[in-house]
Chains A and B, each alone.
Chain A
Amino acid sequence: MQTKIIGKVAATENRPTTIDEFYFWTSKNLILNPFDVIKVSHINDSTTYGVVEEISHITDTPSYLTSYISNDFGDVNSISNTERIGMNYIKAKVVGNTKNIYIPVTNGSPVSMADRLEVEKALGLDNIKNPLVCGYIQMYESADDKYKVTLPISLNSDFLIGPEGAHLNISGISGLAAKTSYSMFILKAIQEKYSTVNNENESIAFIFLNVKGKDLLAIDEPNKDLDELDKELYKMMNLTDKPFQNVKFLYPYSTNNYSNSYASKDLIESQMARHKVGFYKYIYEYDKDNLDLLFANIDDPAQTMDSIINFIISAQGNFGSIKTWESFRNEIDDYCKAGNNKADKEIQISSWRKFKRIISKSTKNPIFSQRAVVEKDETRIQDSIMNIKKNDVYVIDIAKLEETMQSFVFGDVIRNVYDLKLGQTQRDENDIPSKIIIFIDELNKYASSDVPKNSPILRQLIDIAERGRSLGIILFSAEQFRSVIYDRVTGNCSTHAYGRTNAIEISKKDYQYIPNVYKNMMTRLKQGEYIIQNPVFRSVLKIKFPKPVYKQFK
């Protein structure tokens, strides 16, 4: 590529060049964008690379009044023979120097566009270990074709799924940010990369929770609407355009009278024909220990609900002999009756009544059942998770369940994954996938700062965020507003992806260390564009990704 000089460095009294940043002027007609990489000739024949941060236009107008006067004292029809002298000046952040010379670039040094290799070098992408593609960048989008640079972006997977760093958090407005699509893009890239790896320390299984409509209910079917351009992009990134492999869909058990899923009958039948389906149920005998999960979002300052749950789990009263949910509800009924003398005197009847209100609606859902018939593809989530294998993708559908039930299922999933990884299974340790990636959308339901601090799900999420890296439990989470998520969860994510968001959100303290121009760009990102922050990148990057490879429901 030809080198095109686009401006010169300007070091002024007020704005000197520094080790970290410099300013350069350029033509007001040259279209550059934040995140574009530029290079500057520096001393000792070295080259300093910078990333465009802010672009300003300036004229010699000292005040607005001058502008007003220059139009014949406010005549909007005034035409002048000469345009005011004006130019753009650009603030660039230094990201590297070819000879590691970091003294400030000097005034008047020519600034040029970089070619593909130089962009890779500048962004530290040329020598990434364990590369895992996370999108592509396009630079100088408005320049002539010969100057445009498109290149895939890879991050070091050690910093995404361990052992160096773990967890991904994605934030952005629903729909506009395409959070699910981007999560699936990265997860598909991970599955492709690790499906062929035979190292037992790098065996990965996936558990996705489907929380919206039919979003993830056909991730094993190809996207027929994928156009040639998208296919080319996948090729450029060294990825196939095939959908997810080894997928199993776990639907909440439904009856003829009560449907628990948005999946159509045809869809489920076609998946059943391919033996890719399981219908999950909760059996009192095995799952009563998870009752606390139904209370995840209930504020319980006096811990009365906690006391009742302990009472039940520890098989006090008649609870030790109960085998079904119905008997359980009946027993609770008894405790709620006025004048009963069954209960521990410390638990008041009003507390039992509150307990009843919360559990009775949920436990009447068909998923709370007597037994699971394996021949009919019925299963318990615990059983499924305990048998998860390398490369398996479990999609657990919770979209149609009411919120308390969603929390219950999600809590159960992470609890079981924890048990599996902590060895609460008879399986050979080498047979258990070394890493299990859990993807959950709408994280705000489980880990927002509004969630009661004693929520068992929040406790588990914090534990995964803090300890998951070493246990091999990786959390890929998404939410609309990152600022509402509990600090200890987001703070432990090594990689952050910011999609389109709004002005109120970026004013929150979570965004205080992101330069203003990037923050403002977050409010203008298009669908399919993300700003990525990862420890291996020298700067945050604006990346793009193509349309999903799996079937999209319209």
Chain B
Amino acid sequence: MKRITEFIAKETDGVSFKTNKFCLDLISNSAINYEESNSISLDQYGETVKVNKTIDLSDQSLKMQGAEPLFKYFLDGSRRTYKVDDIIYEKKVFPIVAGQIGVGCCFRENKQLKSAILEMHNVIALPESSDKDGNFRENYFENLKNKICAIDILKKRNITFSKVLVYHEKKLQPGQRYENFGIACIQDEMIDKEKQVVASLARNDKLDQNSFLLKDGSLEYKKMKTGDYKDLSVIKSNYQSVIGASKSFNPENCFDERGKSNASIIAKLPLYHRTPAYLYTSHITGDVKFAIWYVRIRDSKFTYSPFDGILKLEKILITESEQENGLESELINIITANIINERNPVCYGDDSRWANHLYPIYLTETFIKSKYLSTEYFLNLF
């Protein structure tokens, strides 16, 4: 039975190397993510009430305990990437990167989580050279995908691939690898699927001021204006009731009014306090502004690092007023108090990032992971 890589090599007039197949993913357990690029200046407030100190939300969150929680939907996206082969085009060797993308959304009813939307996709990322003609690229790769799906090894197992992605062939800078280009385009595809899920929720009126969506990770999509969902005004309206919660962030990107790093304001954040919200304009997205703030949901005496137990929260500023004056401080307080009330149960013992994890997000992530094909199974298709 012909394997996928052999088929691709034949179809694209390349030569398959049949090299070692392996998973490319690395899992970071640290709350500190030094690779995060966005920098936040503390002099730019992202909220209406401007104070220069942390805000205690313990009373507010306590009062809200037992009430209907603000967050009803929980979104997480993840992908697994694999280097499945090396292929030669014109004496140049390129990796073939394959991936499994999972985007899941769960909703909460009577304290129990149920699946709302699940998108599972298998994709392959090939270099540009795999299309020898370069014309009608979309059609070419769509056809290639259809042909791949028709091969026996996939048909027998009832497995399909939803897209053949293309990564650009740039001259590699020191430290750069083609694999990373492949991973990046699979990541972009995952983000597009996430945007698609948010759009679907918004279109079906699932989200409103009493029914927020909590998304795992940042809302700052690197490719906000690409993919199938690139109309910014539509994106913005879709994200009216969406909060991004990041487990890991780069505290070094927090600057004080003098432009110096001010990670300590986050490290010393007292329990159930939030920082003031800061305004952040994404360099990547251009004219999309975010309110970003941090909240401590676990006492630092129980965590390994002072940054464990802190979540970075963000919300896209939608209206002109919001973009000029920042988000209503009261809304930020309500959102934050609700986040604090999401602190229990914990996934201690199952996930080393337990202090930064919110259980509904963790469950959504677990749900998606349970749907992946096993690495061995997936790799053996190639």
Q: What's the minimum C-beta distance from A546 to chain B, rounded to whole angstroms?
A: 41
| Distance between Cα atoms of A187 and B111 in the complex (Å) | 55
Q: Is the CB of A65 within 8 A of B111?
A: no
**B residues less than 8 Å from A66 (CB atoms):** 345-350
Q: Is the CB of A81 within 8 A of B111?
A: yes
Q: How many residues on chain A are close to B (CB under 8 Å)? A: 20
Q: Is the CB of A82 within 8 A of B113?
A: yes
| Distance between Cα atoms of A69 and B363 in the complex (Å) | 17
Q: Is the CB of B302 within 8 A of A80?
A: no
Q: Is the CB of B366 within 8 A of A60?
A: yes
| Distance between Cα atoms of A83 and B106 in the complex (Å) | 14
Tell yes or no: B69 within 8 A of A by CB. Answer: yes
Q: Is the CB of A84 within 8 A of B345?
A: yes
**B residues less than 8 Å from A63 (CB atoms):** 348-349
Q: Is the CB of B349 within 8 A of A78?
A: no
Q: Is the CB of B341 within 8 A of A81?
A: yes
Q: Is the CB of B345 within 8 A of A82?
A: yes
Q: How many residues on chain B are close to A (CB under 8 Å)? A: 25
Q: Which of A18-76 contact B (CB under 8 A)?
A: 60-63, 65-67, 69-73
User: Given A79-B65, A82-B113, A83-B111, A62 and B350 touching (CB < 8 A)?
Assistant: yes
**B residues less than 8 Å from A71 (CB atoms):** 344
Q: Is the CB of B359 within 8 A of A80?
A: yes
Tell yes or no: A338 within 8 A of B by CB. Answer: no
Q: Which secondary structure dominates where chain A touches chain B?
A: loop
Most B CB atoms within 10 A — which of A65, A78, A82? Answer: A82
Task: Type the 1/0 row for B349-371, where 1 means its CB is closer than 8 Å to any CB of A.
Answer: 11000100001100100100000
| Distance between Cα atoms of A71 and B343 in the complex (Å) | 9
User: Given A70-B344, A71-B344, A73-B302, A79 and B66 touching (CB < 8 A)?
Assistant: yes
User: Given A60-B366, A73-B302, A82 and B349 touching (CB < 8 A)?
Assistant: no
Q: What's the minimum C-beta distance from B245 to chain A, rounded to whole angstroms?
A: 14
**B residues less than 8 Å from A78 (CB atoms):** 344
Residue of B at shortest CB range from A77?
Answer: B65
**A residues less than 8 Å from B302 (CB atoms):** 69, 73
| Distance between Cα atoms of A80 and B366 in the complex (Å) | 19
Q: What's the minimum C-beta distance from A377 to chain B, rounded to whole angstroms?
A: 74
Q: Is the CB of A70 within 8 A of B65?
A: no
| Distance between Cα atoms of A82 and B341 in the complex (Å) | 10
Tell yes or no: A374 within 8 A of B by CB. Answer: no
Tell yes or no: B108 within 8 A of A by CB. Answer: yes
**A residues less than 8 Å from B343 (CB atoms):** 72, 80
Q: Is the CB of A65 within 8 A of B348?
A: yes
| Distance between Cα atoms of A73 and B346 in the complex (Å) | 11
Q: Is the CB of A81 within 8 A of B346?
A: no
Tell yes or no: A85 within 8 A of B by CB. Answer: yes
Q: What's the minimum C-beta distance from B40 to chain A, rounded to whole angstroms?
A: 28
Q: What's the minimum C-beta distance from A82 to chain B, rounded to whole angstroms?
A: 5
Tell yes or no: B176 within 8 A of A by CB. Answer: no
| Distance between Cα atoms of A80 and B344 in the complex (Å) | 5
Q: What's the minimum C-beta distance from A11 to chain B, rounded to whole angstroms?
A: 15
**A residues less than 8 Å from B359 (CB atoms):** 80, 82, 84
Q: What's the minimum C-beta distance from B308 to chain A, rounded to whole angstroms?
A: 13
Q: Which of B148-199 contact A (CB under 8 A)?
A: none
Tell yes or no: B112 within 8 A of A by CB. Answer: yes
Tell yes or no: B342 within 8 A of A by CB. Answer: yes
Q: Is the CB of B65 within 8 A of A61?
A: no
**A residues less than 8 Å from B112 (CB atoms):** 82-83, 85
**B residues less than 8 Å from A84 (CB atoms):** 345, 359
Q: What's the minimum C-beta distance from A86 to chain B, rounded to whole angstroms?
A: 9
Q: Is the CB of A70 within 8 A of B349?
A: no
**A residues less than 8 Å from B354 (CB atoms):** 69
Most A CB atoms within 10 A — which of B343, B344, B359, B360? Answer: B344
Q: Is the CB of B348 within 8 A of A82?
A: no
Q: What's the minimum C-beta distance from B339 to chain A, rounded to whole angstroms?
A: 10
Q: What's the minimum C-beta distance from B346 to chain A, rounded to whole angstroms?
A: 5
Most B CB atoms within 10 A — which of A72, A81, A84? Answer: A81
Q: What's the minimum C-beta distance from B19 to chain A, rounded to whole angstroms?
A: 30
Residue of B at shortest CB range from A81?
Answer: B69
| Distance between Cα atoms of A43 and B350 in the complex (Å) | 36
Task: List residues of chain A with CB under 8 Å of any chain B CB.
Answer: 60-63, 65-67, 69-73, 78-85
Complex A-B: 19 CB contacts under 8 Å: A61-B345, A62-B350, A63-B348, A66-B348, A69-B348, A70-B345, A70-B346, A72-B344, A80-B341, A80-B343, A80-B359, A81-B341, A81-B342, A82-B112, A82-B359, A82-B360, A82-B363, A84-B345, A85-B113
Give 12 A-B pairs besides A79-B66, A81-B341, A82-B342 with Cβ atoms closer than 8 angstroms: A60-B363, A62-B348, A65-B348, A66-B346, A72-B343, A72-B344, A73-B302, A78-B344, A80-B343, A80-B345, A82-B112, A82-B113
9 A-B pairs with the lowest CB-CB distances in the bound complex, closest first: A62-B349, A70-B345, A80-B344, A83-B111, A81-B69, A66-B348, A66-B349, A70-B344, A79-B65
